[in-house]
């Protein structure tokens, strides 16, 4: 049986999906074909915050429910934090570099960008943190796939772009990065750089074996724990994937030989004036609790005010 993998048609989505398909075939011997699904986000040029949470996801999930595809690959940061009825995240493969990257036309680093520099980014989280630097940067919205954005940069519409390092690496354009931004300066989005492999909870192979078990061969325990903590923070704050909320978890070996999660989180006002940054630690089995606890700490320190949530 050839498995049908649903994917968006962008170069990045196709590259991500092909990597997953090849890995699954190598691990299980099952052939996989890619099925292109057009989403509302692909059809619109509106800014992502205006389009809403899950704009790149709903069409893929509809295709899963309709049994047009057997599983789908998402950029995990695009998924709404609430679970989807009848669907499950069967695997979270090893994460690509989660950091943000700066690409400037003249090779200047972030510290070298002066007032009035036109920086293209559509992410509220990035805009807030760039504004918070107090450098007088002009943050401008930018849409389109990575190639389109880089072409706009080359044509002079922008002086610099901030993009995800993971996406640039996955399509082979990492050599164009001017500077990979330290998370201490620019905290990534929750689940940035991670992929989510999703299928129907009740989907089975011929013979009755659950598809989720087949897909789980690609799961990476440490990546899943890190992303679980980051997304639990996001869900507890009740902020969508386009809100100015950042989270970055690292899994490292502790002195006792066990692994632990170190989670950093940040909440920002759009103008960058208000920023709340805190951290928390915990065990892998407690990943979601670590995220919820850090979110509670952020709220106690005024995160709701930064987000503009009414009291």
Annotated active-site positions, please? Answer: 78
Residue 93 · residue 197 · CB < 8 Å: yes
144: its two tokens: 């389109």
- How far is residue 46's CA from residue 57's CA, in Å, rounded to a whole number? 16
176: its two tokens: 């164009």
C-alpha distance from residue 149 to each of 4, 24, 131, 274, 309 (Å): 30, 31, 21, 29, 32
- How far is residue 268's CA from residue 2's CA, in Å, rounded to a whole number? 46
291: its two tokens: 């995220």
Instruction: Specify the 3-state DSSP secondary structure of 209.
Output: coil
- How far is residue 174's CA from residue 162's CA, in Å, rounded to a whole number? 13
């Amino acid at each position: 049986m050839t498995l049908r993998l649903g994917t968006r048609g962008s170069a990045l989505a196709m590259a991500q999906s092909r990597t997953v398909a090849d890995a699954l075939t190598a691990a299980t011997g099952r052939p996989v074909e890619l099925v292109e699904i057009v989403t509302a986000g692909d059809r619109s040029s509106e800014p992502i915050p205006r389009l809403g949470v899950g704009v790149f996801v709903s069409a893929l999930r509809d295709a899963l429910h309709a049994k047009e595809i057997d599983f789908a690959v998402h950029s995990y940061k695009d998924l709404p934090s609430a679970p989807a009825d009848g669907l499950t995240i069967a695997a979270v493969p090893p994460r690509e570099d989660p950091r943000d990257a700066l690409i400037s036309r003249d090779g200047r680093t972030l510290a070298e960008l002066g007032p009035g520099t036109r920086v293209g980014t559509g992410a509220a989280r990035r805009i807030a943190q760039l504004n918070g630097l107090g450098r007088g940067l002009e943050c401008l919205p930018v849409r389109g796939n990575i190639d389109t954005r880089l072409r706009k940069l080359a044509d002079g519409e922008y002086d610099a772009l901030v993009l995800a390092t993971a996406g640039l690496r996955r399509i082979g354009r990492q050599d164009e990065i001017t500077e990979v931004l330290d998370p201490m300066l620019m905290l990534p989005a929750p689940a940035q750089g991670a992929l989510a492999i999703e299928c129907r909870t009740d989907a089975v192979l011929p013979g009755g074996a659950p598809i989720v078990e087949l897909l789980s061969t690609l799961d990476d325990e440490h990546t899943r724990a890190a992303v679980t903590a980051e997304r639990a923070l996001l869900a507890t704050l009740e902020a969508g994937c386009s809100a100015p909320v950042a989270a970055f978890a690292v899994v490292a070996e502790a002195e006792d030989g066990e692994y632990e999660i170190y989670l950093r989180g940040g909440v920002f006002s759009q103008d960058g004036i208000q920023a709340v940054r805190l951290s928390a630690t915990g065990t892998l089995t407690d990943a979601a609790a670590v995220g919820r606890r850090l979110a509670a700490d952020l709220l106690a320190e005024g995160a709701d005010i930064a987000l503009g949530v009414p009291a």
